């Protein structure tokens, strides 16, 4: 359904992006931010899924700042490599890349943003710093590092209560500081519960979270 295109950030950096265009009437646009595995087949499928819901979905390859065309699987070696790549990124540059993607698909309304894992944290920071219509974050473990920043748009968060990398104490602090943000937790879900290519995939919770996400986006783009 989608295809690759090239974006240019305001600092001159060129990066790839996967773009999925909806058939028929376009409801709005979404910037989709990857996990630590690059814009791989799963992230492309996520974009295709949102395109099927009527959204122009674009996933900027934010790892291109370090290494172009990263496309990883989910082995322990892939996870280690992905974490290493993530550690070489700067927040400033990543937000520039997000802004480039947002500008590329902005229509009558600014796009929304959705991110997973690393991308879930990026979605939070982008919601706080950029002009976006709305934001959704799945298990953003670094949101706690930016908890003193406030999203400038309606925002929804999803967390798994069995996520070994995100203590529920962090989630409670986020909820306490940001009661205006819609936060959902899932009792049986681990980190990565939305990704059906991972062992941590939880079918029931993934479907519920997606239903909530789609309803949220529908409301924001009315």
Residues marked as catalytic: 117, 163, 191
Q: What are the residues whose beta carbons fall under 8 Å from the beta carbon of 6, sequence distance 6 or more?
A: 14, 15, 16, 17
Q: Which of 199, 172, 215 is nearest to 78 (CA)?
A: 199
Residue-wise DSSP of 25-78 = S--EEEEEE--TTBS-HHHHHHHHHHHHTTEEEEEE-GGGGTSTT-B--SSHHH
Q: What is the CA radius of gyration of the chain?
A: 16
């Amino acid at each position: 359904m989608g295809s690759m295109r090239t974006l240019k950030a305001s600092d001159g950096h060129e990066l790839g992006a996967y773009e999925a265009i909806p058939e028929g009437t376009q409801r709005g646009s979404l910037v989709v931010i990857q996990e630590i595995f690059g814009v791989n087949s799963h992230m492309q499928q996520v974009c295709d899924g949102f395109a099927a819901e009527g959204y122009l979905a674009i996933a900027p390859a934010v790892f291109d700042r370090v290494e172009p065309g990263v496309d990883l699987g989910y082995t322990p070696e892939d996870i280690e490599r992905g974490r290493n790549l993530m550690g070489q990124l700067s927040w400033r540059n990543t937000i520039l890349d997000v802004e480039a993607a947002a500008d590329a698909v902005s229509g009558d309304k600014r796009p929304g943003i959705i991110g997973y894992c690393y991308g879930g944290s990026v979605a939070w920071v982008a919601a706080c710093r950029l002009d976006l219509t709305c934001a959704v974050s799945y298990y953003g473990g670094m949101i706690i590092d930016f908890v003193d920043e406030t999203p400038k748009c309606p925002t929804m968060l999803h967390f798994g209560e069995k996520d070994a990398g995100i203590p529920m104490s962090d989630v409670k602090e986020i909820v306490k500081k940001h009661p205006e943000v819609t936060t959902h937790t899932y009792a049986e879900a681990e980190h990565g519960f939305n990704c059906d290519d991972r062992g941590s995939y939880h079918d029931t919770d993934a479907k519920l979270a997606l239903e909530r996400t789609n309803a949220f986006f529908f409301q924001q783009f009315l």
